[in-house]
Chains A and B, each alone.
Chain A
Amino acid sequence: MSRPELVAPPEIYYGDIEAKKYTNNTRVQQIQADMTYRALELLNLPPDDPAFLLDIGCGSGLSGEILDQEGYTWVGCDIAPSMLEVALEREVEGDLFLQDIGQGFGFRPGSFDGAISISVLQWLLNAETSHPTSSPPHRLNRFFTTLHSALRNPSRAVLQFYPTSDDQIQLITSTAQKAGFGGGVIVDYPNSKKARKVFLCLFVGGGGAQQVPQGLEGDEVEDDSQARFEKRREKLKARGKNGRRKNIKDKDWILKKKELYRQRGKESVPRDSKYTGRKRKTVF
Protein backbone atom coordinates (compact mmCIF):
# COMPACT_ATOMS: atom_id res chain seq x y z
CA MET A 1 0.00 0.00 0.00
CA SER A 2 1.33 3.41 -0.80
CA ARG A 3 1.77 6.01 1.88
CA PRO A 4 -1.29 8.17 2.52
CA GLU A 5 0.72 11.40 2.24
CA LEU A 6 1.54 10.48 -1.36
CA VAL A 7 -2.11 9.93 -2.27
CA ALA A 8 -3.64 13.32 -1.57
CA PRO A 9 -3.24 16.36 0.69
CA PRO A 10 -4.33 15.64 4.27
CA GLU A 11 -7.52 17.70 4.22
CA ILE A 12 -8.69 15.69 1.21
CA TYR A 13 -7.31 12.30 2.18
CA TYR A 14 -8.98 12.42 5.56
CA GLY A 15 -12.47 13.05 4.26
CA ASP A 16 -15.60 12.01 6.11
CA ILE A 17 -15.25 8.32 5.35
CA GLU A 18 -11.52 7.98 5.92
CA ALA A 19 -11.75 9.99 9.16
CA LYS A 20 -14.36 7.61 10.59
CA LYS A 21 -12.46 4.55 9.41
CA TYR A 22 -9.23 5.82 10.90
CA THR A 23 -10.76 6.67 14.25
CA ASN A 24 -12.71 3.44 14.66
CA ASN A 25 -9.82 1.17 13.76
CA THR A 26 -8.70 -0.44 17.01
CA ARG A 27 -5.24 -1.14 15.66
CA VAL A 28 -4.72 2.52 14.78
CA GLN A 29 -6.08 3.47 18.19
CA GLN A 30 -3.62 1.16 19.90
CA ILE A 31 -0.63 2.41 17.94
CA GLN A 32 -1.57 6.05 18.42
CA ALA A 33 -2.06 5.51 22.13
CA ASP A 34 1.31 3.80 22.50
CA MET A 35 3.05 6.59 20.63
CA THR A 36 1.29 9.28 22.64
CA TYR A 37 2.41 7.71 25.90
CA ARG A 38 5.95 7.41 24.56
CA ALA A 39 5.87 11.04 23.42
CA LEU A 40 4.70 12.15 26.86
CA GLU A 41 7.50 10.13 28.39
CA LEU A 42 10.03 11.84 26.12
CA LEU A 43 8.48 15.22 26.90
CA ASN A 44 9.66 14.64 30.46
CA LEU A 45 7.30 17.11 32.09
CA PRO A 46 7.65 17.62 35.83
CA PRO A 47 5.19 15.28 37.57
CA ASP A 48 2.09 16.70 39.27
CA ASP A 49 2.46 19.95 37.41
CA PRO A 50 -0.65 20.67 35.36
CA ALA A 51 0.86 21.56 32.02
CA PHE A 52 -0.62 23.30 28.99
CA LEU A 53 0.22 21.38 25.83
CA LEU A 54 -0.12 21.79 22.09
CA ASP A 55 -1.18 18.78 20.04
CA ILE A 56 -0.04 19.38 16.49
CA GLY A 57 -2.17 17.50 13.99
CA CYS A 58 -4.57 16.29 16.66
CA GLY A 59 -6.89 14.69 14.11
CA SER A 60 -9.88 13.04 15.69
CA GLY A 61 -8.45 13.43 19.16
CA LEU A 62 -7.02 9.93 19.64
CA SER A 63 -3.96 11.44 21.26
CA GLY A 64 -5.98 14.22 22.88
CA GLU A 65 -8.07 11.70 24.78
CA ILE A 66 -4.93 10.43 26.42
CA LEU A 67 -3.87 13.96 27.28
CA ASP A 68 -7.28 14.40 28.90
CA GLN A 69 -6.84 11.21 30.89
CA GLU A 70 -3.43 12.28 32.07
CA GLY A 71 -4.89 15.55 33.28
CA TYR A 72 -3.30 17.96 30.85
CA THR A 73 -5.01 20.97 29.38
CA TRP A 74 -4.36 21.11 25.68
CA VAL A 75 -5.01 22.85 22.39
CA GLY A 76 -5.13 20.85 19.20
CA CYS A 77 -4.91 21.86 15.58
CA ASP A 78 -5.47 19.94 12.37
CA ILE A 79 -6.03 20.72 8.73
CA ALA A 80 -8.70 18.10 8.04
CA PRO A 81 -12.20 19.41 8.90
CA SER A 82 -13.68 15.91 8.86
CA MET A 83 -11.20 14.73 11.47
CA LEU A 84 -12.03 17.71 13.69
CA GLU A 85 -15.71 16.94 13.32
CA VAL A 86 -15.08 13.42 14.59
CA ALA A 87 -13.12 14.96 17.45
CA LEU A 88 -16.11 17.15 18.32
CA GLU A 89 -18.37 14.10 18.30
CA ARG A 90 -16.01 12.32 20.65
CA GLU A 91 -16.19 15.32 22.99
CA VAL A 92 -12.53 15.81 23.73
CA GLU A 93 -11.71 18.50 26.25
CA GLY A 94 -9.16 20.51 24.32
CA ASP A 95 -9.70 23.50 22.08
CA LEU A 96 -9.61 22.61 18.41
CA PHE A 97 -8.30 24.69 15.54
CA LEU A 98 -8.54 24.30 11.81
CA GLN A 99 -5.01 25.21 10.90
CA ASP A 100 -2.34 24.45 8.34
CA ILE A 101 0.82 23.95 10.38
CA GLY A 102 2.90 24.76 7.29
CA GLN A 103 1.51 28.28 7.45
CA GLY A 104 2.78 28.73 10.98
CA PHE A 105 1.09 29.35 14.32
CA GLY A 106 -0.17 32.63 15.68
CA PHE A 107 0.37 31.87 19.34
CA ARG A 108 1.98 34.43 21.59
CA PRO A 109 5.55 33.69 22.66
CA GLY A 110 5.90 31.29 25.57
CA SER A 111 2.33 30.01 25.46
CA PHE A 112 2.89 26.28 25.88
CA ASP A 113 4.70 23.99 28.29
CA GLY A 114 5.32 21.49 25.54
CA ALA A 115 4.12 20.16 22.22
CA ILE A 116 3.46 16.70 20.87
CA SER A 117 2.67 15.59 17.37
CA ILE A 118 1.86 12.04 16.32
CA SER A 119 2.32 10.95 12.69
CA VAL A 120 2.11 14.40 11.16
CA LEU A 121 5.43 15.83 9.96
CA GLN A 122 5.59 13.60 6.88
CA TRP A 123 2.58 15.46 5.52
CA LEU A 124 4.67 18.62 5.30
CA LEU A 125 7.10 17.04 2.87
CA ASN A 126 4.98 17.26 -0.26
CA ALA A 127 4.54 20.39 -2.32
CA GLU A 128 0.94 20.86 -3.39
CA THR A 129 1.33 23.87 -5.63
CA SER A 130 4.31 25.47 -7.30
CA HIS A 131 3.91 28.63 -5.22
CA PRO A 132 7.13 29.33 -3.26
CA THR A 133 5.27 29.27 0.06
CA SER A 134 4.17 25.70 -0.51
CA SER A 135 7.63 24.22 -0.92
CA PRO A 136 8.52 21.76 1.87
CA PRO A 137 11.58 23.68 3.15
CA HIS A 138 9.59 26.91 3.40
CA ARG A 139 6.68 25.23 5.16
CA LEU A 140 8.97 23.37 7.56
CA ASN A 141 10.84 26.56 8.31
CA ARG A 142 7.65 28.47 9.01
CA PHE A 143 6.37 25.62 11.18
CA PHE A 144 9.50 25.30 13.29
CA THR A 145 10.14 29.01 13.78
CA THR A 146 6.59 29.74 14.94
CA LEU A 147 6.55 26.59 17.09
CA HIS A 148 9.82 27.60 18.69
CA SER A 149 8.45 30.96 19.69
CA ALA A 150 5.15 29.51 20.93
CA LEU A 151 6.96 27.26 23.40
CA ARG A 152 8.15 28.27 26.83
CA ASN A 153 11.79 28.40 27.77
CA PRO A 154 12.78 25.76 28.77
CA SER A 155 10.48 23.16 27.27
CA ARG A 156 10.39 20.32 24.80
CA ALA A 157 8.53 19.28 21.69
CA VAL A 158 8.24 15.62 20.69
CA LEU A 159 7.20 14.91 17.15
CA GLN A 160 6.71 11.37 15.87
CA PHE A 161 6.76 10.94 12.11
CA TYR A 162 7.25 8.42 9.33
CA PRO A 163 10.20 9.40 7.13
CA THR A 164 10.73 7.61 3.85
CA SER A 165 14.42 8.40 3.56
CA ASP A 166 17.38 9.74 5.47
CA ASP A 167 17.25 12.89 3.34
CA GLN A 168 13.89 13.72 4.84
CA ILE A 169 15.22 13.31 8.38
CA GLN A 170 18.19 15.45 7.42
CA LEU A 171 15.95 18.20 6.01
CA ILE A 172 13.68 18.20 9.05
CA THR A 173 16.46 18.22 11.66
CA SER A 174 18.47 20.92 9.90
CA THR A 175 15.40 23.15 9.55
CA ALA A 176 14.57 22.65 13.22
CA GLN A 177 18.13 23.54 14.20
CA LYS A 178 18.03 26.69 12.12
CA ALA A 179 14.82 27.65 13.91
CA GLY A 180 16.73 27.52 17.19
CA PHE A 181 15.84 24.09 18.53
CA GLY A 182 18.31 21.75 20.14
CA GLY A 183 17.86 18.00 20.30
CA GLY A 184 17.74 15.25 17.74
CA VAL A 185 16.16 12.13 16.39
CA ILE A 186 15.33 9.12 18.52
CA VAL A 187 14.63 5.78 16.89
CA ASP A 188 12.69 3.21 18.89
CA TYR A 189 13.16 -0.47 18.01
CA PRO A 190 15.54 0.31 15.11
CA ASN A 191 15.82 -3.33 14.08
CA SER A 192 12.14 -4.08 13.91
CA LYS A 193 10.30 -3.49 10.69
CA LYS A 194 6.93 -3.10 12.33
CA ALA A 195 7.66 -1.49 15.66
CA ARG A 196 10.31 0.98 14.42
CA LYS A 197 9.27 4.50 15.33
CA VAL A 198 11.07 7.77 14.70
CA PHE A 199 10.70 10.60 17.20
CA LEU A 200 12.08 14.07 16.78
CA CYS A 201 12.84 15.34 20.26
CA LEU A 202 13.39 19.10 20.28
CA PHE A 203 14.53 21.31 23.13
CA VAL A 204 13.87 24.99 23.61
CA GLY A 205 16.53 26.63 25.74
CA GLY A 206 18.27 24.65 28.47
CA GLY A 207 21.73 25.84 27.43
CA GLY A 208 22.45 22.83 25.22
CA ALA A 209 23.27 20.77 28.28
CA GLN A 210 20.37 18.39 27.74
CA GLN A 211 21.03 14.91 26.49
CA VAL A 212 18.86 13.41 23.81
CA PRO A 213 17.09 10.44 25.40
CA GLN A 214 17.91 6.92 24.28
CA GLY A 215 15.61 5.08 21.92
CA LEU A 216 14.10 1.83 23.02
CA GLU A 217 16.07 -1.24 21.96
CA GLY A 218 15.30 -4.86 21.32
CA ASP A 219 12.19 -6.42 19.90
CA GLU A 220 8.84 -4.95 20.52
CA VAL A 221 7.31 -5.97 23.79
CA GLU A 222 4.81 -8.72 23.21
CA ASP A 223 1.48 -7.02 23.39
CA ASP A 224 -1.01 -8.89 25.50
CA SER A 225 -4.02 -6.97 24.32
CA GLN A 226 -4.18 -8.36 20.82
CA ALA A 227 -3.78 -11.65 19.02
CA ARG A 228 -2.68 -13.57 22.04
CA PHE A 229 -3.56 -16.98 20.64
CA GLU A 230 -2.31 -16.50 17.12
CA LYS A 231 0.80 -18.61 17.60
CA ARG A 232 -0.98 -21.43 19.34
CA ARG A 233 -3.61 -21.58 16.63
CA GLU A 234 -0.96 -21.85 13.97
CA LYS A 235 0.74 -24.66 15.84
CA LEU A 236 -2.52 -26.52 16.05
CA LYS A 237 -3.08 -26.08 12.37
CA ALA A 238 0.33 -27.56 11.60
CA ARG A 239 -0.68 -30.73 13.37
CA GLY A 240 -2.75 -32.98 11.21
CA LYS A 241 -6.18 -34.30 11.98
CA ASN A 242 -4.83 -37.23 13.98
CA GLY A 243 -3.24 -34.84 16.45
CA ARG A 244 0.34 -35.62 15.52
CA ARG A 245 2.66 -33.21 13.86
CA LYS A 246 3.14 -34.11 10.22
CA ASN A 247 6.61 -34.89 8.97
CA ILE A 248 8.11 -31.70 7.66
CA LYS A 249 10.76 -33.14 5.38
CA ASP A 250 8.50 -35.05 3.03
CA LYS A 251 8.75 -35.33 -0.73
CA ASP A 252 7.16 -31.94 -1.42
CA TRP A 253 9.57 -30.25 0.92
CA ILE A 254 12.59 -31.86 -0.75
CA LEU A 255 11.36 -30.93 -4.22
CA LYS A 256 10.81 -27.38 -3.14
CA LYS A 257 14.28 -27.11 -1.69
CA LYS A 258 15.88 -28.56 -4.79
CA GLU A 259 13.95 -26.16 -6.98
CA LEU A 260 15.15 -23.30 -4.81
CA TYR A 261 18.77 -24.41 -5.08
CA ARG A 262 18.51 -24.64 -8.85
CA GLN A 263 17.06 -21.14 -9.02
CA ARG A 264 19.92 -19.87 -6.97
CA GLY A 265 22.34 -21.54 -9.33
CA LYS A 266 23.79 -24.00 -6.87
CA GLU A 267 25.84 -26.71 -8.54
CA SER A 268 25.33 -30.46 -8.33
CA VAL A 269 21.71 -30.52 -7.25
CA PRO A 270 20.57 -34.11 -7.78
CA ARG A 271 17.98 -34.80 -10.45
CA ASP A 272 14.39 -35.48 -9.48
CA SER A 273 13.33 -39.06 -9.98
CA LYS A 274 10.80 -41.54 -8.71
CA TYR A 275 13.23 -42.34 -5.87
CA THR A 276 13.28 -38.79 -4.59
CA GLY A 277 12.22 -38.58 -0.99
CA ARG A 278 11.63 -42.32 -0.66
CA LYS A 279 12.59 -44.21 2.45
CA ARG A 280 15.23 -46.94 2.18
CA LYS A 281 14.36 -50.46 3.13
CA THR A 282 15.50 -51.44 6.55
CA VAL A 283 18.52 -53.72 6.00
CA PHE A 284 19.97 -56.03 8.54
Chain B
Amino acid sequence: MVRLITHNLLACHAKGCTSNNFPLKLQDVAIEVREAEFNPDFVRGFLPRLEWKALVQAARELGDTSLPEEMPEMVDDGFLKNLHHVLLEIHIDEGAMICPNCGHTYPISNGIPNMLLAEHEIG
Protein backbone atom coordinates (compact mmCIF):
# COMPACT_ATOMS: atom_id res chain seq x y z
CA MET B 1 0.00 0.00 0.00
CA VAL B 2 2.61 2.53 -0.96
CA ARG B 3 0.83 5.72 -1.73
CA LEU B 4 2.45 8.56 -3.59
CA ILE B 5 2.53 10.60 -0.40
CA THR B 6 5.06 8.18 1.05
CA HIS B 7 6.81 7.62 -2.23
CA ASN B 8 7.42 11.35 -2.30
CA LEU B 9 9.21 11.16 1.05
CA LEU B 10 11.28 8.11 0.33
CA ALA B 11 14.94 8.24 -0.59
CA CYS B 12 17.47 5.44 -0.83
CA HIS B 13 19.18 4.74 2.48
CA ALA B 14 21.93 2.36 1.38
CA LYS B 15 25.49 2.98 2.49
CA GLY B 16 27.23 5.86 0.73
CA CYS B 17 24.17 6.70 -1.33
CA THR B 18 23.69 10.31 -0.33
CA SER B 19 23.22 12.32 -3.50
CA ASN B 20 20.82 11.92 -6.39
CA ASN B 21 19.05 9.21 -4.39
CA PHE B 22 15.59 10.73 -4.81
CA PRO B 23 13.01 10.06 -6.17
CA LEU B 24 13.05 6.30 -6.40
CA LYS B 25 12.04 5.15 -9.86
CA LEU B 26 8.91 3.07 -10.16
CA GLN B 27 9.01 -0.06 -12.26
CA ASP B 28 6.44 -2.64 -13.37
CA VAL B 29 3.83 -1.24 -11.07
CA ALA B 30 0.31 -2.46 -10.55
CA ILE B 31 -1.92 0.15 -8.95
CA GLU B 32 -5.21 0.09 -7.19
CA VAL B 33 -7.43 3.05 -6.46
CA ARG B 34 -9.09 3.05 -3.08
CA GLU B 35 -11.19 5.94 -1.91
CA ALA B 36 -10.10 7.82 1.15
CA GLU B 37 -11.68 10.57 3.17
CA PHE B 38 -10.90 14.01 1.81
CA ASN B 39 -9.31 16.30 4.36
CA PRO B 40 -8.49 19.66 2.71
CA ASP B 41 -6.57 20.96 5.75
CA PHE B 42 -4.24 18.00 5.73
CA VAL B 43 -3.52 18.25 2.01
CA ARG B 44 -2.97 21.99 2.22
CA GLY B 45 -0.68 21.57 5.21
CA PHE B 46 1.31 18.95 3.39
CA LEU B 47 1.94 21.07 0.29
CA PRO B 48 5.20 22.70 1.43
CA ARG B 49 6.67 19.31 2.28
CA LEU B 50 6.15 17.89 -1.20
CA GLU B 51 8.82 17.68 -3.84
CA TRP B 52 6.50 18.85 -6.59
CA LYS B 53 8.46 17.78 -9.65
CA ALA B 54 9.00 14.28 -8.33
CA LEU B 55 5.32 13.97 -7.48
CA VAL B 56 4.13 15.04 -10.94
CA GLN B 57 6.62 12.72 -12.58
CA ALA B 58 5.54 9.77 -10.44
CA ALA B 59 1.87 10.51 -11.03
CA ARG B 60 2.42 10.60 -14.80
CA GLU B 61 4.26 7.30 -14.65
CA LEU B 62 1.18 5.86 -13.02
CA GLY B 63 -1.03 7.36 -15.70
CA ASP B 64 -2.54 10.25 -13.80
CA THR B 65 -2.18 13.60 -15.53
CA SER B 66 -4.49 15.72 -13.41
CA LEU B 67 -1.65 17.68 -11.80
CA PRO B 68 -0.10 20.76 -13.47
CA GLU B 69 3.62 20.86 -14.25
CA GLU B 70 4.26 23.73 -11.85
CA MET B 71 2.78 24.09 -8.41
CA PRO B 72 -0.03 26.65 -8.83
CA GLU B 73 0.08 29.88 -6.86
CA MET B 74 -3.60 29.82 -6.15
CA VAL B 75 -4.81 26.77 -4.29
CA ASP B 76 -8.49 26.05 -4.89
CA ASP B 77 -10.74 23.17 -3.93
CA GLY B 78 -10.62 21.42 -7.29
CA PHE B 79 -6.85 21.35 -7.21
CA LEU B 80 -6.81 20.05 -3.65
CA LYS B 81 -9.22 17.28 -4.64
CA ASN B 82 -6.95 16.24 -7.49
CA LEU B 83 -3.95 16.33 -5.22
CA HIS B 84 -5.79 14.31 -2.59
CA HIS B 85 -6.60 11.70 -5.20
CA VAL B 86 -2.98 11.45 -6.35
CA LEU B 87 -1.48 11.48 -2.85
CA LEU B 88 -3.82 9.30 -0.87
CA GLU B 89 -6.02 7.23 -3.15
CA ILE B 90 -3.60 5.65 -5.60
CA HIS B 91 -2.03 2.59 -3.99
CA ILE B 92 0.89 0.76 -5.56
CA ASP B 93 0.29 -2.93 -5.04
CA GLU B 94 3.07 -4.65 -6.92
CA GLY B 95 6.27 -3.57 -8.61
CA ALA B 96 9.61 -2.19 -7.56
CA MET B 97 11.32 1.05 -6.64
CA ILE B 98 14.82 1.61 -7.97
CA CYS B 99 17.36 4.06 -6.66
CA PRO B 100 18.51 6.33 -9.51
CA ASN B 101 21.99 6.59 -7.99
CA CYS B 102 23.12 3.19 -6.73
CA GLY B 103 20.53 1.08 -8.50
CA HIS B 104 19.33 -0.73 -5.42
CA THR B 105 15.94 -2.34 -6.03
CA TYR B 106 13.26 -2.21 -3.38
CA PRO B 107 10.65 -4.74 -4.42
CA ILE B 108 7.01 -4.11 -3.58
CA SER B 109 4.92 -7.18 -3.08
CA ASN B 110 1.38 -7.33 -1.81
CA GLY B 111 1.52 -3.61 -1.24
CA ILE B 112 4.45 -3.76 1.15
CA PRO B 113 7.84 -2.51 -0.01
CA ASN B 114 10.83 -4.43 1.22
CA MET B 115 13.30 -1.85 2.51
CA LEU B 116 15.76 -4.32 4.02
CA LEU B 117 19.40 -3.90 3.09
CA ALA B 118 22.12 -6.51 2.78
CA GLU B 119 24.87 -6.42 5.37
CA HIS B 120 27.37 -4.61 3.15
CA GLU B 121 24.85 -1.88 2.29
CA ILE B 122 24.16 -0.80 5.85
CA GLY B 123 25.47 2.69 6.52
Contact = CB atoms under 8 A, between A and B. Distances in A.
Residue among A81, A96, A103 with max Cβ neighbours from chain B (10 Å)? A103
A278 to B, nearest CB: 74
Contacts of B5: 52, 73, 95
Nearest to B3: A95
Q: In this complex, which of A81, A98, A134 has the most chain B Cβ atoms within 10 angstroms of its Cβ? A: A98
Contact of A142 (B51, B110, B114, B122): B122
Contact of B11 (A99, A107, A131): A107
B3 A100 contact: no
Contacts of A84: 112
The listed residue with most A CB atoms (<10 A of its CB), out of B9, B11, B116, is: B9
Interface residues of A, number: 34
Contact of B42 (A50, A75, A105, A108): A50
B47 interface: no
Interface in A71-122: 71, 73, 75, 77, 79, 81, 84-85, 88, 93-100, 103-108, 110-111
Nearest to B43: A50
A98 B116 contact: yes
A41 interface: no
B119 A131 contact: yes
B29 interface: no
Contact of A108 (B1, B9, B88, B111): B9
B10 A106 contact: yes
B85 to A, nearest CB: 15
Contacts of A75: 6, 9
A133 B119 contact: yes
B19 interface: no
Contact of B49 (A93, A110, A133): A110
B12 A106 contact: yes
A49 interface: yes
A23 B3 CA distance: 25
Contact of B112 (A88, A104, A111, A133): A88
Contacts of B1: 88, 94-96
A98 B114 contact: yes
A269 B120 CA distance: 70
B2 interface: yes
A49 B45 contact: yes
Contacts of B110: 85, 88
B3 A99 contact: no
Contacts of A52: 5, 42, 46
Interface in A131-147: 131, 133-134, 142, 146
B22 interface: yes
B30 interface: no
Contacts of B71: none
Interface string B44-79: 011001010000000000000000000000000000
Given A104-B123, A106-B11, 5 more contacts: A73-B5, A73-B42, A95-B1, A96-B111, A103-B116
25 contacts: A49-B41, A50-B41, A75-B9, A79-B116, A84-B112, A88-B110, A88-B111, A88-B112, A95-B5, A95-B6, A96-B1, A98-B115, A99-B115, A99-B116, A100-B115, A100-B117, A103-B117, A106-B10, A106-B21, A106-B115, A108-B10, A108-B11, A108-B51, A111-B9, A133-B122
